[in-house]
Amino acid sequence: MDKVRLMLTVLSIVIIVVPIVSVVLMNQNNLLGLIIPSQINDIASTLTGGNSSGGGNNPGNPQIVGEPQYDAASRTVTLTFQYTNPFNFPVTLNSMTGDIVCHADDFPLGNASLSKPVSMGAGETATLTVQGTWTDAAITHFQTSHADQKTIAVDLADVAIDVSGVKIQTDQRIPISDMPIP
């Protein structure tokens, strides 16, 4: 009886361990893929991979519309984007935050965030309003390093996005060109 119990115990362990080990070995180059579905990576790259100043009207690429608005009293710049939901399901962009850095010399200029949540149906285009605040150091940087320029190329770095409750943090930079210098 003890031999049968021992054999059943060994068989149970083999039945459980062998599939787990084989899946880990098959995915040894992408262990994170075992936990995070590839669709999440697709969503993250679609949301952050677009060039906001580039041409074209590709879904997933935010396009700047109109001129940036600047309030000198609060040192706040407001940008308006058109964004087309590239997915076949509705999404809500609950929040987006990031650091604004000078593209030319990687100087930190301030912070930016989505002014209010935006809901979009599948394939629907919505208007996103992003507000950024220049720091005192940014104003000094503009006056010393970019005194002869009227516009500057900036990047949105360390972007954190909450899409329908899924939080995405990326170190990929989103370039924004032709930002007016105050």
Q: Give CA–CA dist 6/70, Å, rounded.
A: 76
pLDDT at residue 113 greater than cutoff 90: yes
Maximum average pLDDT range among 50-59, 113-122, 172-181: 113-122
| Cβ atoms < 10 Å from Cβ of 130 | 23
List the domains of the chain with CATH numbers. Answer: 36-180 (2.60.40.10)
pTM of the model as a whole: 0.65
Please report, as a single letter, which amino acid is at residue 48. T
Express each pLDDT in 39-58 by its tens digit: 666 666 665 554 444 444 44
In which region does residue 89 sit, left (phi positive, over 0), alpha (psi from -120 to 50) or beta (all else)? beta
